[in-house]
């Protein structure tokens, strides 16, 4: 399999963590991709222009991260990252969607702060994204009481990569996810001790 990835993307990190957790990492060739480069041809792989994207051994192209992880889950017979059915399945998917939405907001905020000239910054947009992140962190604080760092699933992986990215970009964002979120922080510190998390740390260029 061929994974188009970036070294700072939390969405990519989700896929890398999942691949390691499922014992698939040695089957995945990583292709470092810079989708923001003006002359990139990556849009021919993923028309949306976002990483990650996966080319399967059969030549099928799959994107984005939740779909890739669902595909990974189909390749093994062990415990699934996404439960097959019932209330447990939809709870995991709900938490993953919440953490994904938080990541969407925090990345939009980061892009506003780093890519748009300061004189063009829009306070309304900044406040809206910060509000989304704050509400999401409060909700994840509640959800974290049910997390088990020894039993990773899609919801926990997505949450860990999301709050990990906020901490990674704390100097730019000015958001400390740990403030007021003790349960989430304790769980994150424990989850971060997993080899999959240690071996997928974001790297800034």
**Which tokens sit at 163?**
């709050």
Domain shared by 138 and 65, yes or no: no
Cis bond leading into 148, ω under 30°? no
Question: Tell me, what CATH number does 185's domain have?
Answer: 1.20.1050.10
Provide the 3-class DSSP secondary structure of residue 76: coil
pTM: 0.95
Number of domains in the chain: 2
Residues 156, 122 share a domain: yes
pLDDT tier at 205, thresholds 50, 70, 90 = low
3-class secondary structure, 128: helix
Task: Determine how β-strand 53-55 pairs with β-strand 29-32.
Answer: unpaired
Please, what is the Cα angle at 103 between 100 and 109, to 5 degrees? 150
CB 8 within 8 A of CB 202: yes
Beta-carbon contacts of residue 92 (< 8 Å; ≥ 6 apart): 81, 82, 83, 153, 154, 155
Tens digits of per-residue pLDDT, 151-201?
Answer: 999 999 999 999 999 999 999 999 999 999 999 999 999 999 999 999 999
The residue ranking higher by pLDDT, 198 or 34, is: 198
Structural domain span for residue 128: 86-198
Domain CATH code at residue 42: 3.40.30.10
Q: Which residue has the higher pLDDT, 111 or 119?
A: 111
Distance of CA 109 to the CA centre of its chain: 16
């Amino acid at each position: 399999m061929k994974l188009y990835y970036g070294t700072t993307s939390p969405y990519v990190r989700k896929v890398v963590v999942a691949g390691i957790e499922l014992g698939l990492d040695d089957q995945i060739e990583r292709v470092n991709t810079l989708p923001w480069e003006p002359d990139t041809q990556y849009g021919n792989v993923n028309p949306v222009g976002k990483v990650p994207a996966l080319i399967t051994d059969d030549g099928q192209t799959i994107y984005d991260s939740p779909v890739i992880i669902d595909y990974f889950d189909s390749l093994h017979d062990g415990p699934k990252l996404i439960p097959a059915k019932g209330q447990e399945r939809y709870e995991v998917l709900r938490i993953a969607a919440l953490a994904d939405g938080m990541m969407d907001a925090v990345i939009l905020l980061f892009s506003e702060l780093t890519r748009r000239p300061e004189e063009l910054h829009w306070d309304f947009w900044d406040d809206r994204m910060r509000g989304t992140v704050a509400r999401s962190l409060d909700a994840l604080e509640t959800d974290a009481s049910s997390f088990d760092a020894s039993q990773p699933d899609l919801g926990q992986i997505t949450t860990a990569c999301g709050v990990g990215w906020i901490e990674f970009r704390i100097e730019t964002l000015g958001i400390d996810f740990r403030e007021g979120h003790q349960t989430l922080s304790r769980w994150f510190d424990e989850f971060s001790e997993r080899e999959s998390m240690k071996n997928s740390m974001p790297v800034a260029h």
